[in-house]
Structure 1
Amino acid sequence: MLLGCIGDDFTGSSDLGNTLVKQGMRTVQYVGVPKGDAAPEVEAGVVALKSRSIPAAEAVKLSLEALEWLKAQGCQQFLFKYCSTFDSTAEGNIGPVAEALADALGTESVIFCPAFPATGRTIYQGHLFVQDHLLSESGMENHPLTPMKDPDLRRVLAAQVSRGVGHVPASTVWQGPDAIRARLASEAEEGRGFVIADAIRDEDLLTWGAALKGAKLLTGGSGIALGLPGNFALSGKAGAWTGQGGQVVALSGSCSNATRAQVAAHGGPKREVTAEEALGGLDADSLADWALAQDGLPLIYSSAEPATVAATQKKHGREKVAAALEGLFARTAAALASKGVKRIISAGGETSGAVVEALAPEALEIGPEIDPGVPVMRAGDMVLALKSGNFGAADFFAKAARVMEQGA
């Protein structure tokens, strides 16, 4: 294995796997830290954790376990992958995990680059933009678990780490890899080893990839992986894909602007699940039976407006509401699988993490891309599409069902 990756959720890990496969790397996504060794033909391994919203100490522990396994596979470079909207709180988990990984690898200089221009995430002057809006005005300020109210990633990261935080501006990136390396060295000399990396185009990410050849550790969204495969001698065999027919069901627990638009645009049968129903013990088997009784592509969703989410969290508590909804979607996915469903679409990082944990595959084969950042994945005869809340076009659910069956 050449490149070892640690993802802080399942949708982001599949997004990363998608990027690496498109660049020609033989990639496997593992669900949690594997017990045995990787197959010898694997060039990039992505260990997917559900660590984005758990206590920071637990996230650090899991990430270090993943790092040890990847080191044992012979990896030459390591990537800590988090969301392209830098989802975190003042306590972490991005900063604490990155700092622990850097300490374990004995490296001083580490970049932070969540840019993903294909989905509208860009970094300029240290600030994160979503399309033409600052992060703090993109809808992410209303995220139910990790609201992002500051677009300046230097301030966000500095609140989470003990190391100094620096910056490589776009003007330096445009001068090429040598200029980037010189700026990184200068920032490290000034005590700013953790560096926010500007990137507004795919070309910038490719430049970053060339500049980071030989770096032990880097962090970012899946976009930063665009330029990494070119630093390795690859087999050129990323694997083939076979579609899967049969019943398909969509589950959505994301309240992001993009997912709510996708739910509204979905023309098939829809069943809304409220937080009150989930807290009240709504039976997952009944939801699965409802889905199987529908024609077309049934969608079970809990994607409420921000004001509704805020009111429910105030009444019952944020953690309690999140646990109830994630648990219900997890049990519903397990019920669907037990009833013979072989294709499940899941929208939302936390929802998808709960779904994958319920289905418990050991590893996932990365298949064709549905929309930027969202591939189809296979575990045996089960095919999954795990979508980050903010990703995908308005017709995502219908498109996902088609690609799962036919391929790209």
Structure 2
Amino acid sequence: MAARLLVVADDLTGGLDTGVQFARQGASVRVVIDTARDSDWTRAQAQVIVAVTHSRHMPPGEAYDAVYAAVSAGRDAGIRHFYKKTDSALRGNIGAELAAALRASGAKSLAFLPAYPAMRRVTAGGIHLIDGVPVAQSVFGRDPFDPVRESDVARLISSQTDMPVSTGMTAGCGIRVLDAQTDDDLIRAGHALDEADALTVTAGCAGFAGTLPHLLGLECAARPSVPGLGEGLLVVCGSMNPITLAQLKHAERYGFRRAHVAPGRPAAPPTDARWLMLDACGFDAEAHGLAMGEARRRVAERLAAVYGELSADGGRTALITGGDTLRACMDRIGCTQLEPFAELFPGVVLAKAFTARGERLVISKSGGFGKETLLQDLRMVIEGKQTEE
């Protein structure tokens, strides 16, 4: 099976929440966890390949090179359509990576639609808004690892590239930023781009990705079914996002057990809890003399080590939040590719992880996604008291 679309994502959770937009409409999807280590990734047997470059926290020049290499490899493999997946809150190397995707694709222009209306993230007048607040003034402007300093999308892109940047559905070369405040806006933009033969390379998050299966003929009558989700939930939280922290606190009030797991804290968490949350909140990187990047890596590795121990019995389904932590956990079990097949709630993805010992189910989400009640809602799904959205 030859791939027809390559999605290039800067982090693993984002690759999954975008890949599932195609899977839920019947397309076959494979998420390649690390293109730098998987030399045969372009041969993945799927209509849609999601290549994860892990470039969100790289210097802009390195991020550019990683994306350029991925798109170039896709072209060499015969893929003709490309989607540069970006963070829905505009974190990361947005300008550098869009420029790399456009240049490597060989197209003249790239339409960028960063809106995700289902998650209350919209673009109006070129300004990106989170819950009605300019993104730089939202919680993402205070992100401890990658704060967003600019809400004007074109200006943010131009800070990392000298490629022409414009707003609106105008002809010409370079990067075009398009507004969208509703799903219908995204659909209309997609049809306009299709009519203009401008779908060779596009960019955005899971929001606009949801319009592409129909436009690119990737739909299928068969839809994947959701299997049973085990007998409990093991939450592995590597995110420090306030949205996720509120979810942990809410779940704790409703009977989840919570264990703090961090580098230098050898105490083992409880193993008999059916509903268990692991997190590294309270870990003080500065007190340990660690830079933020090194602290992020150590936290992810520590959480992954405990995940490997507690997930071996297969009794609980794991929910892993945070791209770095998800990557470390998959490395721990020897997984190099994932197959997303269901979206339990917006941005909350159920996937198969392929390992030498067989398949296992994994739920993932970005740290900035989900209602405060999310973990309790998932518990109700597992107990059969609520159906997924």
TM-score norm. by structure 1 comes to: 0.82
- Matches for 1:27-106 after TM superposition, within 5 Å: 27-33=29-35, 34=38, 35=40, 37-39=43-45, 42-88=46-92, 93-106=93-106
Deviation at 1:212, TM superposition (A): 2.7
Instruction: Look up the equivalent residue of 2:185 and give its one-letter code.
Output: D
**2:191 maps to 1:210:** yes
Shift of the alpha carbon at 1:137? 1.9
- The alignment status of 1:157 with 2:157, answered yes or no, reads yes
Letter in structure 1 aligned against 2:366: S
> Counterpart in 2 of 1:387?
365
User: Equivalences for 1:281-300 in 2 at 5 Å?
Assistant: 281-283=264-266, 286-287=267-268, 290-294=269-273, 296-300=274-278
Which residue among 330, 349, 352 is the counterpart of 2:326? 352
Shift of 1:270: 0.7
Alignment of 1:264 onto 2:264: no
Quote the residue 2:292 is aligned against.
318
- Does residue 329 of the first structure (1) align with residue 333 of the second (2)? no
Q: Quick check: 1:208–1:227 contact (8 Å CA) kept in 2?
A: no
Q: CA deviation at 1:146?
A: 0.7
1:238, distance to aligned residue in structure 2 (A): 4.1
**Structure 2, gaps ≥5 residues long:** none
Residue 397 (str. 1) matches residue 382 (str. 2) = no
Equivalence for 2:19: 17
CA distance in 2, matches of 1:229, 1:87: 25
CA contact 1:272–1:301 (8 Å) conserved in 2 = yes
Higher helix fraction: Structure 1 or Structure 2? 1
In structure 2, give the amino acid aligned to 1:255: M
Taking a change above 3 Å as real, the CA distance of residues 314 and 327 of structure 1, as seen in their structure-2 partners, is closer
Count of aligned positions: 369
Name the CA distance, whole Å, in 2 between partners of 1:116 and 1:110: 18
Tell me if structure 2 keeps the 8 A contact 1:348–1:389.
Answer: yes
**Distance in structure 1 (CA, Å) of the matches to 2:239 and 2:343:** 20
The letter for the 2-side match of 1:354 is: A
Structure 1 match to 2:227: 242
Q: TM-score, normalization: structure 2? A: 0.86
Match of 1:175 in 2: none
- The one-character-per-residue Cα deviations of 1:208-252 (angstroms, maximum 9, x if unpaired) are 221232422111111111221122334433433422424531111
1:296-320 per-position Cα deviation (integer Å, ceiling 9, x unaligned): 311011345xxx97x8489643223
1:229 aligns with 2:213: yes
Q: Which runs of 5+ in 1 are unaligned?
A: 169-179
Question: Does structure 2 conserve the Cα–Cα contact (< 8 Å) formed by 1:291 and 1:299?
Answer: no
Given that 1:52 and 1:59 are in contact with CA atoms closer than 8 Å, whether structure 2 keeps it comes out as: yes
C-alpha RMSD over aligned residues = 2.5
Q: Distance in 1 between matches of 2:287 and 2:123?
A: 31
The structural deviation recorded for 1:143 is 0.6
- Give the 3-state SS of the residue equivalent to 2:275 in structure 1: coil
Does the Cα contact within 8 Å between 1:251 and 1:301 map onto a contact in 2? yes
CA separation in 2, counterparts of 1:338 and 1:135?
40
TM-fit CA distance, 1:5: 0.6
* SS of corresponding position for 1:64: helix
Deviations 1:329-365 (A, max 9, x none): 2222222334556621112233223323333323222
Displacement of 1:255 in angstroms is: 1.8
Q: Is the Cα–Cα contact under 8 Å of residues 50 and 353 in structure 1 kept in the other structure?
A: no
Q: Is the CA contact (8 Å cut-off) linking 1:342 and 1:381 kept in structure 2?
A: no
SS at match of 1:212: helix
Where in structure 2 are the equivalents of 1:157-176 lying within 5 Å?
Answer: 157-168=157-168
